[in-house]
Amino acid sequence: MKIKQYIYPFLFVLLTLGACSSDDEGTDPDPGTGGGTVDPPPAAAQPINLTDYDNGTGVMMQAFYWDVEPRHEWWDVLSEQVDEWAEAGIDRIWLPPATKGQSGGYSMGYDVSDYFDFGDYFQHGTTETRFGSRAELEDLISAAHSNGIEVIADIVINHNSGGGEQFNPYRGYNTYTLFDQEHGNASGMFNRNFEYFYPNSVSQYDPGSLFYAETNLDHHREYVQDWLWKKENSVAKYYQNVMGFDGWRFDYVLGFEPWVVKDWLDEVGGFSVVEMWDGNAGNLRNYVEETGSGAFDFSTFYKLDEAFDRFDDLTYLQKDMLWKTHPTKAVTFTANHDTEKDTNQDNYIAAANKMKAYAFILTHPGYPTIFYSDYENPSFQEELNQLILINNTIATGDFEVLYVDADEYVMQRKGTATNPGLILYINISNNIKARGDIQTKWNSTPVMDYSGNINFSTSTAADGKVQLRAPANGYAIYSIME
């Protein structure tokens, strides 16, 4: 992981102005109820260089959105961006399903047909996938690795699409379950027929698929296990050893039992995160304990949605979330290709609240993910880069909520003996907020905002208490000065 070797422009402005205590645009803050006074920092106090700290964490980039354009060029588009992402502090990229789907050149890969066609064979109306050729994918993986970035494969092993039609005696009618070189599996590897989908001569019932019932793979069949993860030329080992993928994002794990993920990881290892679309932290917790895999933290996603969008109440940020008990297994996020497909749905955080949500996940425990479309939004990118820098440097140590009500949320990361940590102050009211008697770990120490959102610095008292401020409908991130 690279750490930026410069300070962002808005912090440079603070440097050139010198340490000061002032309100944004001269607006008097709402003093809150905490009391306290503002002690200016010493005139010589300067911002710390965040790049002097490296807490060993990183950030994953979801490197696609739904129906990416231009078609057949996506791998090349990403290859041109990995240098910049590495410089920003991205240490993994999550790619869409990389092999041929039933929709051919229009497929986002989730209608997987041939697990070994990365753009090698003409089938479903195209040789290249929607994202490009195999050679272009290999170039992207090489470019990522040369920048110290791991590449995560999206694995769809619940359902298949695009096979040939055949009579299925276990259903009593024709199903599209014939996959061979003439029917949706031009590679000739992992050929399938109705015996390898539910139901069949061995398994009479589907353990949990809500979708794709006729083409839901039966993972109890030894043949399916061999081809997916056990054989030397299995999907898992081919992706890992031939293509160079470093880990896995398992799609729709509600469609098969947890032991499948555990067996896969026991066989091949690698970084792993599952899409278990469940907002209940307890259910996510049980899953990661049973499988050993990480999980996208939908419990946090929904609490952010409730706090910022649905109820305008920051006390929801105190609810149960996966990262509170399993920080190394919780992959936090504010958006993905599914939540952003239809912005009128309930599963969506409004653009006006996105940066506050990102400030939360990039300062709290857990492994945060940035959504490609958010990062490429010119209104967000500079701010996201600063948050990534903060995440990778001073967002460390135990966390403690110092104050919370409907409008305000104040949280401290306590740092370590050699890392100062930080304080996040979120404010969703329409006024600047000031809260006194905030108990910090910094005694008689100058502090300032490192988010660039409010031009304010002060000093803590001898007992560590301080008054801090947050911009209207925004956030500030405080740490020490030198």
Binding site per annotation, positions for Ca(2+): 158, 226
95 Cβ contact partners less than 8 Å away, ≥ 6 residues apart: 63, 64, 78, 131, 140, 151, 152, 153, 154
Report DSSP letters for 140-181, one per residue: HHHHHHHTT-EEEEEE--SB----EEEEETTTTEEEEEEBBT
Q: Encoding tokens for residue 209? A: 């698929």
Q: How many CB atoms lie within 10 A of CB 387?
A: 27
Indicate the burial class of 16 (C-beta count within 10 angstroms; 0-12, 13-18, 19 or more). exposed
Q: Active site residue: 111, 154, 218, 275, which one? A: 275
- Give the three-state DSSP class for 385: helix
Binding residues: 158, 226
The three-state secondary structure class of 474 is strand
Residue that has been written with the tokens 């903060």 in this structure: 390
Of 251, 297, 305, 340, the catalytic one is 251
Residue 251 is among the residues annotated as catalytic for this protein: yes
Distance from chain centroid for Cα 298:
11
Residue 244 near residue 282 (C-beta atoms within 8 A): no
Report the phi/psi class of residue 442: left, alpha or beta, with left for phi > 0 and alpha for psi in -120 to 50: beta
Residue 25: active-site member: no
Q: Which residues are catalytic?
A: 251, 275
